[in-house]
Amino acid sequence: MSRRLVPGLASRYPLGLQLPAVYAEDDTAQRITEGLDEVLAPVLTVLDCLPAYFDPGLAPADFAALLGAWVGAEGPVAAGPRGTVSGHARRGTAAGLAEGVRQLCGVLPEIEESGAAAWSATPRGELPGTDRPGLTVRLRVPDPEAVDAAAVEAYVAAARPVHLPFRVEVVRAAAAPPDPRA
């Protein structure tokens, strides 16, 4: 809920009480200041609580989301505002993408990328990766129908490097072998 939409939020500093005494009995002046009090009450409340806005653990959710949007933090952030900073540092990486999908679905995906980086002491060494760019995000889950594949695709589309075509696969996980000690 946004602070501007709090019904009945009263101002701690009503303007009508601060008018000169000649206006204290004036009904029109008091009604005008009551309307202004309703407009100013959310602003004064924010100013009264300003230190909380600088602590990610105390900041209102809508304000934290606004700050996250400013820095490009998108998708699920289960760790809250504190996790947004570390998540932003890994944005566009395989680790960041895997963590975002894990937060969305509860399953750590397998990520296959086409590119790689390497060095060699000899010239004309073999290049890593493949010549066709691509990204595959594979989720192995017990029940593939229980996973919202469209939501995963939307998240991957927003979190992947923009130049990289991608594919999301949701496959049934192989049953674990029985425990011989049981």
Domain 90-172 has CATH 3.30.300: yes
Confidence class for position 152, pLDDT limits 50, 70, 90: very high
Distances from the Cα of 55 to the Cα of 19, 46, 49, 168, 170, angstroms: 36, 14, 11, 37, 38
- DSSP-derived letter for residue 145 is G
pLDDT tens-digit series, residues 7-19 = 778 888 899 999 9
Every domain of the chain and the residues it spans: 3-48, 56-88, 90-172
Question: Do 91 and 72 form a contact (C-beta atoms < 8 A)?
Answer: yes
For residue 177, pLDDT beyond 70: no
Confidence class for position 109, pLDDT limits 50, 70, 90: very high
- Please tell me the pTM assigned to this model: 0.54
Q: How far apart are CA 173 and CA 105, in angstroms?
A: 14
What confidence score (pLDDT) does residue 56 get? 72
pLDDT tens-digit series, residues 39-51 = 888 888 888 888 8
pLDDT tens-digit series, residues 49-61 = 888 887 777 888 8
Confidence class for position 129, pLDDT limits 50, 70, 90: confident
